Structure 1
Amino acid sequence: MARFLKGVRYSLNRLITKLAGFNMKNPVIAASGTFGYGHDYEQYYDPSILGGISSKGLTLNPKPGNKGIRLWETPSGLLNSIGLENPGIRAFAREVYKMSEIDTMVIVNLGGDNLEEYIEGASILNDSPIDMIELNISCPNVKAGGMAFGMQCDSAALITREIKKVTKHPLMVKLSPNAPNVADVGVACAESGADALSLVNTFQGMAIDIKTKKAVFENTYAGLSGPAIKPIALRMVHQTVKAVSIPVVGLGGISSWQDALEFIMAGATAVQIGTGNFPNPNLGKEIVRGLQKYCEKNGIINIDEIRGII
């Protein structure tokens, strides 16, 4: 745990954040699918500046990803249909040491097509030098007609309980905003042993190409992220924080330190930066510095003083 604070001057760092037993340098985490495995942004800044990095989504078996158009820009947002393209858990496990060389919290985002794949993937990760698993329950359960595990409280509770039985790592469950009531799903996960929650994942959206008179994406629907979803994500984070007693990591449309501060004031223990990394690859660094300067200017000894003030 101490390694996350390497080189930090305790008297000056007002952003030290506790998350599921870890002392993070700051509450800023690079979100899954937007930061690779940590080294992709080294040409812009040292990724160890961040409080944590969540890996690209991984599944037990390799996935080639979706065919056709994968990204489509919308006003103040981005639709994506990547399809969890990844080399598989076993291949990642052989390379994870490169990611763990970065002096920050290493989080692995884990997905799967059914409960058995999640369990086996989590078990393989037990021998990897990672710090936390982020369980992506927005994945479709192919054995249950394709409905995502996170859409209903009972299925979310089931997968959380089963992964907690096998994993040696703290478990953060990433919630889908497409559930009928995301706060209720969060409660179900918390009661089933989750150490933390992260929300929100992308909203389901659609785009049509009027020239071809067809849906842009081969799967018709895709995930919407970016500034357009921020007010809704903020509301969902606030509601979930009020409903559970475990840490909540907020994400959804954060593109400035001011946005990040809103989520923290709404009660988020930490925040994740996703789509905002694409137009501004220095965003993570800028948010860390912006939060630090805000605390200094306002005489805040530690950012925990304003966490959840709303």
Structure 2
Amino acid sequence: MATKRLPPSLVPTSGVGVSHWGHALFIAPFVLVYVALLVVPLVRGMYLSFFEVDALSGDSTFVGFDNFVQLAGDAVFRGAVFNTFAFVLMTTPAFVAIGLALALALKQAGLLRAGLRAIFFGASVLSVTIVTLVWRLVFMTDRGLLANLMRAIGLDPVNPLVDPHLALPAVALVTVWWIIGLPMMLFLAALQQIPQDVYEAAALDNASRWRTFRSITLPAIRRTLALVAIIEVIAQFQLFGQVQLMTLGGPDNATRPIVQFIFEAGFNQWAIGYAAAAAQVLFGLMLIAVVVQVRVASRKEAA
């Protein structure tokens, strides 16, 4: 009995065909841009961190790990590392907690939901220049909103931006107010994916709100919780614009973060190799923080 042969165009082929290379062309522009703008500068920065570079002449001298040793003994850099970690610890939990609380409230907001979303998300689209200008006016000692409120309750006006103990928390407050819209929208999208019949079943079992939140809501959005935490850790380690425009790292270096230290070392002192070494330290700290966050989130998910 003769077998029916398929046309050549319908015969399956094995291995990597030409069409697979055609598919790769769709991602080629992204890969090229990614390599040019991220991978190449990263590798170049690692290379420069082992050199003392003259930015004017372009000459460089290999110094090995001397830049890193000098950073370890630099009190200003150690203070910048402390300020950066303190800022991340102030803001990241606030983004998670407040963002989730706002999302839960907006999920039940009814007719006002769209308007409230726009109000809370509106600040996120503002530039750092506008945000810092507005808050500097709020913190003005003479006629600022904060000063007027303090006078109204019988307290002497204080500008937190000139107090070494209050300046960094004030910058953290401004940052949370500015960016809280993004975590809120991520949590809101996750909450809307939870089937409503699960809550109805919990209500039939007379489950309390706290038990419903702990047993249904939190497990359902645990991936979003981890995502928001990782995004904000990475973002807040790169603190720069708010401090540069509000305090210039002061008072008494109380708000100087690592990125501002890198900027000043590279563009004010022209110590390119020293700045590159500080950038590698920042990269390492961010990488460690993200790995720890991912490991903690994966353990919670497995449990």
Band the TM-score falls in, shorter-chain normalisation: under 0.3
TM-score, length basis structure 1 = 0.24
Structure with the larger RCO, 1 or 2 (CA within 8 Å, 6+ apart): 2
Comparing both structures, which one devotes a greater share of its residues to strand? 1
Rg larger in structure: 2
